[in-house]
Chain A
Amino acid sequence: MNSIKNITFIVTKDCQLACKYCYLVGKNSKERMPWEVAKQAIDYILGHEEDFREESVVWDFIGGEPFLEIELIDKICDYLKTEMFRRNHHWFNSYRFSFSTNGINYDSPKVQEFITKNHEHLSIGITIDGTKRKHDLNRIYKGGAERGSYDDVVRNIPLWLKQFPHGGTKVTISSADIPYIKESVLHLFSLGIREVHINVVFENVWKEDDDKLFGDQLIQLADEIIDGGYYNDYSCSFFSENIGKPLDRVLYNQNWCGAGMMLSVDAAGNFYPCTRFAAYSLRSKKPIIIGNVHDGIDKNKLRPFLTLDRTTQSRQECIDCEVASGCAWCQGENYDAADTATIYQRATAICKMHKARVRANNYYWNKLYRKLELEDMREEFEKSKPKSNDLIC
């Protein structure tokens, strides 16, 4: 399998929005990455090719809202392209620039110019949570007036899909969002978005009976997708054939999360195993800094990440769980929620939500395959079914 290194530049901690579920507890408008820091990070990374042997690289730009720093990003990308070529670096043959944006300034001239210039290497996801009602419930402008951002985002969707017809969106579900799941996913389909990556937050936000409400929403969504025939061309990551099975403790012992195999750099030039370990992402723990652009990476600090496995961090209940597959975790949230400063304690706040998802998922596939068999269409569907990656963070 092609190995991929994900390298994230935290270009700004500023954002136009103040989403209610945002895990970035320390957002601010002051910490913007200086060009010198970005350049030093690139020089360090490209200068240590022997430590970055992955075949491909995804240069990821994150915020806050990354496109607020489009001029810096443009300069970084130009430098990356030139340097990868000048150094004859193996990543010149396989790289992408990746963005997850709130979409508000997607149509601005500078962003559009950047897209035209780098189109073949771009992967851009616009976050839209669903219907106006659902989106504006959480994704509001900062400033305290509860003004939703839906209208400013949705006007850019046609342009985005024209430029990236396979563009997918990422939806995050918190407790208050549960009643809107079905209508939101269907709404995104109706906007022409064929891939909806959706997941529940890992934080411990769930109320009593949230799992039942969640399950009901997913069943209703399953009915709509199947009865409406969406399953041929659209995918929603809540429904996946691979989830809800027991996992052998030896054969399936790998870690879920890629922290440690990724690398993040912030405005101060510090390196992190993933953005979630930077101070602005953490509620109650100290950041885990694994080096900086001057001294390089302290490989000792990566060792726990690179040797972490499923069973060592899981409780016996999770190891023995009969529906374990597809139950995700975020190493950063595990660390943040742990009783001690460790990445070796798996948070289980999503347990009941995962179980509800598994039940709805079973329903979905049983119902879908029965329908396809009755219509004699199963074989054809198997050949051409849309694939959805279980994108979780």
Chain B
Amino acid sequence: MAVKKLVGQVTPEEKNEIQTLFERRNGLNELAKILTADNAELYERLVKDLGETGAKFQGWWDRMAEKYQWESSENGNWEIDFATCEIYLVTV
């Protein structure tokens, strides 16, 4: 059973940044389900955007982890609560 532990909090501005990236990533993933290579120009843009958004997403977690030095665990990952800006360590 997963255990959630509160390990920190980010600022609302930082939360907005990751939330936008999170939403964009979801949007791109669902767009990927309907866009085919037939639509070459858009498809290429999508693939490029997926790569860039994924990198920005990971970059945010790396930057924040560095800044806040949250507790971590080998068999866990961090989660953010968009409503409260709180960061949780979730371990299984």
Mark A residues whose CB is within 8 Å of B. Answer: 78, 81-82, 84-86, 92-95, 117-118, 120-121
Residue in contact with B24 in the complex, picked from A81, A86, A92, CB distance below 8 Å: A92
| Interface size range on B against A | 10 to 19
Taking a contact as CB atoms under 8 Å apart, the answer to whether A121 and B26 are in contact is yes
Q: Tell me, in angstroms, the Cα distance from A86 to B46 when the chains sit together.
A: 9
Known: A82-B42, A85-B46. A95 touches B34 (CB 8 A): no
Least distance between A128 CB and chain B CB atoms (Å): 27
Taking a contact as CB atoms under 8 Å apart, the answer to whether A121 and B31 are in contact is no
Taking a contact as CB atoms under 8 Å apart, the answer to whether B24 and A118 are in contact is no
B1-56 residues at the A interface, CB under 8 angstroms: 20, 23-24, 26-31, 33-35, 42, 45-46, 49
Q: Tell me, in angstroms, the Cα distance from A78 to B46 when the chains sit together.
A: 15
Contacting residues, chain A, for B26 (C-beta < 8 A): 120-121
Taking a contact as CB atoms under 8 Å apart, the answer to whether B27 and A92 are in contact is yes
Q: Tell me, in angstroms, the Cα distance from A369 to B29 when the chains sit together.
A: 46
Taking a contact as CB atoms under 8 Å apart, the answer to whether A94 and B20 are in contact is yes
Interface of chain B, main secondary structure? helix
Taking a contact as CB atoms under 8 Å apart, the answer to whether B20 and A120 are in contact is no
In the complex, besides A93-B24, A117-B30, 8 extra interface pairs with C-beta distance below 8 angstroms are A81-B34, A82-B34, A85-B42, A85-B46, A93-B20, A93-B23, A93-B27, A94-B20
- Determine the residue in chain B with the shortest Cβ distance to A2: B16
Taking a contact as CB atoms under 8 Å apart, the answer to whether B27 and A81 are in contact is yes
Mark B residues whose CB is within 8 Å of A. Answer: 20, 23-24, 26-31, 33-35, 42, 45-46, 49
Q: Tell me, in angstroms, the Cα distance from A93 to B49 when the chains sit together.
A: 12
Contacting residues, chain A, for B42 (C-beta < 8 A): 82, 85-86
Q: Tell me, in angstroms, the Cα distance from A93 to B31 when the chains sit together.
A: 12
Least distance between A281 CB and chain B CB atoms (Å): 32
Q: Tell me, in angstroms, the Cα distance from A93 to B34 when the chains sit together.
A: 17
Interface of chain A, main secondary structure? helix
Inter-chain residue pair count (beta carbon < 8 A): 37
Q: Tell me, in angstroms, the Cα distance from A118 to B26 when the chains sit together.
A: 9
Taking a contact as CB atoms under 8 Å apart, the answer to whether B30 and A85 are in contact is no
Contacting residues, chain B, for A120 (C-beta < 8 A): 26, 29-30
Known: A85-B42, A93-B20, A93-B23. A121 touches B30 (CB 8 A): yes
Taking a contact as CB atoms under 8 Å apart, the answer to whether A82 and B20 are in contact is no
List 25 A-B pairs, Cβ < 8 Å: A78-B34, A81-B27, A81-B31, A82-B31, A82-B34, A82-B42, A84-B27, A85-B27, A85-B31, A85-B42, A85-B45, A85-B46, A85-B49, A93-B20, A93-B23, A93-B24, A93-B27, A94-B20, A95-B27, A117-B30, A117-B33, A118-B30, A120-B26, A120-B29, A121-B27
Scoring B20, B24, B26, B30 by chain A CB atoms within 10 A of each residue's CB, the highest score goes to: B30
Contacting residues, chain B, for A82 (C-beta < 8 A): 31, 34-35, 42
Contacting residues, chain A, for B49 (C-beta < 8 A): 85
Contacting residues, chain B, for A84 (C-beta < 8 A): 27
Least distance between B5 CB and chain A CB atoms (Å): 16
- Determine the residue in chain B with the shortest Cβ distance to A78: B34
Scoring B20, B29, B31 by chain A CB atoms within 10 A of each residue's CB, the highest score goes to: B31
Least distance between A163 CB and chain B CB atoms (Å): 15
Q: Tell me, in angstroms, the Cα distance from A117 to B34 when the chains sit together.
A: 9
Q: Tell me, in angstroms, the Cα distance from A187 to B31 when the chains sit together.
A: 39
Least distance between A95 CB and chain B CB atoms (Å): 7
- Determine the residue in chain A with the shortest Cβ distance to B34: A78
Least distance between B51 CB and chain A CB atoms (Å): 15
Contacting residues, chain A, for B34 (C-beta < 8 A): 78, 81-82, 117
Residue in contact with A94 in the complex, picked from B23, B29, B33, B45, CB distance below 8 Å: B23
Q: Tell me, in angstroms, the Cα distance from A94 to B26 when the chains sit together.
A: 10
- Determine the residue in chain B with the shortest Cβ distance to A116: B33
- Determine the residue in chain A with the shortest Cβ distance to B16: A2
Taking a contact as CB atoms under 8 Å apart, the answer to whether A81 and B20 are in contact is no
Least distance between A293 CB and chain B CB atoms (Å): 24
Contacting residues, chain A, for B31 (C-beta < 8 A): 81-82, 85
Q: Tell me, in angstroms, the Cα distance from A43 to B24 when the chains sit together.
A: 21
Least distance between A67 CB and chain B CB atoms (Å): 19
Q: Tell me, in angstroms, the Cα distance from A82 to B32 when the chains sit together.
A: 10
Least distance between A45 CB and chain B CB atoms (Å): 17
Q: Tell me, in angstroms, the Cα distance from A117 to B35 when the chains sit together.
A: 12
- Determine the residue in chain A with the shortest Cβ distance to B31: A81
